[in-house]
A and B are shown apart, each in its own frame.
Chain A
Amino acid sequence: MSVFSDGLHTKIKVLVERYETPRSAILPALHAIQDEKGWISPEAVEELHTVYNLERVHVKEVISFYDIYHDTPQRKFIIRYCGNLTCSMLGAKEAIHKIEERINELEKKSGDDCPFSLEVFPCLGKCDGAPVMMVNKDRVEHATVDKVEELLSKYAPLN
Chain B
Amino acid sequence: MTHEKIILATEGKENQRSIDTYLANGGYTAIKKAAKMDRKAIIDLVKASGLRGRGGAGFPTGLKWSFVPPDDGKPKYLICNNDESEPGTFKDRHISSVNPHMIIEGMLIGGYTVGAEKGYIYSRWEFQLEIGYLEQAIKEAYEAGFLGQNIFGSGINFELDHYSGAGAYICGEETGLISSLEGKKGQPKLKPPFPALEGYLRRPTVVNNTETFCNIPHIITHGAEVFRRYGTEKSPGTKLFSISGALNRPGVYEVPLGYSLKKLIEEDCGGLKDGKKIKAVVPGGMSAPLLMPAQVETATLDYECMQEMGSMLGSGAIMIIDDQQDVVDLLRITTDFFAHESCGQCTPCREGTGWLKNLVNGILEGTEGPAAVDRIYQVADHMEGRTICALSDAAAWPAKSYVKNFGEEIKAYIEKKGNRA
Contact = CB atoms under 8 A, between A and B. Distances in A.
A124 B126 contact: yes
B166 A30 contact: yes
Given A85-B282, A89-B325, A123 B169 contact: yes
A30 B162 CA distance: 16
Interface in B36-77: 75
Interface residues of B, number: 56
Interface in B304-357: 317, 319, 321-322, 325, 329-330, 333-334, 336-337, 340-341, 343
Nearest to A86: B244
Contacts of B321: 85, 89
Interface in A52-69: 58, 61-62, 65-69
Given A21-B201, A67-B166, A85 B184 contact: no
B90 interface: yes
Interface string B255-266: 000000000000
Given A30-B166, A122-B167, A127-B317, 14 more contacts: A24-B182, A25-B183, A66-B166, A83-B333, A84-B286, A89-B245, A89-B325, A89-B330, A122-B169, A123-B337, A125-B89, A125-B93, A125-B126, A130-B244
17 contacts: A20-B75, A21-B182, A24-B183, A30-B166, A61-B185, A67-B168, A83-B336, A85-B88, A88-B329, A121-B167, A122-B169, A125-B84, A125-B85, A125-B126, A127-B88, A127-B317, A138-B128
Interface of A: 18-21, 23-28, 30-31, 58, 61-62, 65-69, 83-86, 88-90, 121-128, 130, 134, 137-139
Interface of B: 75, 84-85, 87-90, 93, 118, 124-129, 161, 163-169, 180-186, 200-201, 242-246, 250-252, 282, 286, 317, 319, 321-322, 325, 329-330, 333-334, 336-337, 340-341, 343
